[in-house]
């Protein structure tokens, strides 16, 4: 178990991030029950901080706390997914419009560096690494909009889609297309072209939506999906 020197609050935040990564990368499948014993062992913590972390994820809408069943990884329906992508596309478009007006040269340089790292992750076929960089770029654009209400709303809505956005890049050709769209985003940011960046982000999110909905439609739903317990890894 972890050292008592680690502040409880910091430990809970660390465990919550570990669980988010498991959910995003499919180590905990949508609809699966969160097995506290296995997760506590995987995260090397006691059940107390684990349960606090799970409650954090429930507040974010990533897991559902069900009576007599415990915590279940949220599985969005096709219609919920479509509606959520409509909202996130609008939020990202607004983020791009405002960021182009308010971003600093230093922030642009940082985003360009992240984009170069993302290209390297693509060449290595490192999907988890690529996705973390991808998420950092989108978050940086949202942050550069300098609108705290927009940021909070974006974080809440985007949290529900992380696992689906991750899986949308598993097709190599779609992945390559997404990479080129990020190059266009960086170019629009450098030119401070808000309308162009807004259009690129809208197209980017709509493409993600179409890929994700196609994956949902092509995946048969099994009755056991909402009952299985995840195999946990570090």
Residue 234 lies in a domain: no
C-alpha distances in angstroms, 159 versus 136, 190, 207?
13, 28, 18
Shared-domain flag, residues 50 and 155: no
- Which positions ≥6 away from 170 have C-beta within 8 Å? 127
Domain end among 40, 55, 75: 75
Q: What is the pLDDT of residue 38?
A: 95
pLDDT tier at 232 (50, 70, 90 boundaries)?
Answer: very low
Shared-domain flag, residues 103 and 213: yes
Annotate 68-84 with three-state secondary structure: CCEEEECCCCHHHHHHH
Section 29-52 average pLDDT: 94
Q: Return the CATH number at 61.
A: 1.10.10.10
74: region left, alpha or beta (phi > 0 left; psi from -120 to 50 alpha): beta
Structural domain span for residue 92: 78-218
- Examine the pLDDT at 228 and tell me if it is beyond 70: no
- Examine the pLDDT at 95 and tell me if it is beyond 50: yes
Residue 120 lies in a domain: yes
Q: How many domains does the chain have?
A: 2
Residue 223 lies in a domain: no
Q: Would you say 198 and 97 are in contact if contact means Cβ atoms under 8 Å apart?
A: yes
The whole-angstrom separation of Cα 45 and Cα 57 is: 17
Q: What is the pLDDT of residue 219?
A: 74
Shared-domain flag, residues 67 and 98: no
Q: What is the pLDDT of residue 221?
A: 56
Shared-domain flag, residues 95 and 154: yes
The whole-angstrom separation of Cα 82 and Cα 210 is: 9
Shared-domain flag, residues 46 and 86: no
Shared-domain flag, residues 132 and 206: yes
Section 133-141 average pLDDT: 96
Residue 225 lies in a domain: no
Shared-domain flag, residues 25 and 107: no
| Tokens 């607004």 sit on residue | 94
Burial of residue 124, with CB atoms counted within 10 A of its CB: 0-12 exposed, 13-18 middle, 19 or more buried: exposed
Annotate 94-147 with DSSP letters as a single string: HHHHHHHHH--HHHHHHHHHHHHHHHHHHHTT-HHHHHHHHHHHHHHHHHHT--
Q: Return the CATH number at 124.
A: 1.20.120.530
For the chain, percent of residues with pLDDT exceeding 70 = 91
Q: Using CA of residue 82, residue 87, residue 93, residue 95, what is the dihedral sign?
A: negative
Quote the pTM value.
0.80
State which H helix or E strand residue 63 sits in.
Answer: strand 63-66
Shared-domain flag, residues 53 and 100: no
Please state the separation of Cα 109 from the chain's center in Å. 23
Residue 229 lies in a domain: no
Annotate 167-192 with DSSP letters as a single string: HTT-SHHHHHHHHHHHHHHHHHHHTT
Residue 3 lies in a domain: no
Shared-domain flag, residues 52 and 101: no
CB neighbours of residue 33 within 10 Å: 19
Shared-domain flag, residues 101 and 20: no
Residue 170 lies in a domain: yes
Shared-domain flag, residues 107 and 44: no
Quote the longest CA-to-CA distance of the chain.
55
Q: What would you report as the CA-atom Rg of the chain, rounded to the nearest whole angstrom? A: 18
């Amino acid at each position: 178990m972890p050292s008592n020197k680690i502040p409880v609050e910091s430990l809970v935040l660390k465990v919550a991030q570990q669980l988010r990564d498991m959910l995003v990368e499919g180590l905990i499948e949508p609809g699966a029950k969160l097995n506290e014993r296995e997760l506590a062992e995987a995260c090397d913590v006691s059940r107390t901080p684990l349960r606090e972390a799970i409650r954090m994820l429930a507040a974010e809408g990533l897991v559902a706390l069900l009576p007599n069943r415990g915590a279940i990884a949220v599985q969005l329906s096709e219609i919920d997914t479509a509606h959520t992508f409509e909202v996130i596309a609008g939020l990202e478009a607004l983020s791009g419009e405002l960021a182009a007006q308010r971003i600093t040269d230093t922030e642009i340089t940082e985003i360009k560096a992240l984009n170069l790292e993302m290209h390297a992750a693509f060449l290595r076929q490192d999907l988890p690494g690529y996705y973390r960089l991808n998420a950092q770029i989108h978050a940086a654009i949202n942050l550069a909009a300098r609108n705290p209400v927009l940021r909070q709303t974006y974080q809440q809505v985007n949290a529900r889609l992380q696992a689906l956005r991750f899986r949308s890049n598993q097709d190599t050709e779609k992945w390559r297309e997404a990479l080129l769209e990020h190059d266009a985003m960086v170019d629009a940011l450098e030119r401070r072209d808000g309308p162009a960046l807004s259009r690129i982000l809208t197209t980017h999110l709509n493409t993600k939506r179409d890929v994700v909905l196609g994956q949902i439609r092509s995946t048969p739903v099994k009755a056991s999906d909402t009952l299985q317990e995840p195999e946990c890894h570090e």
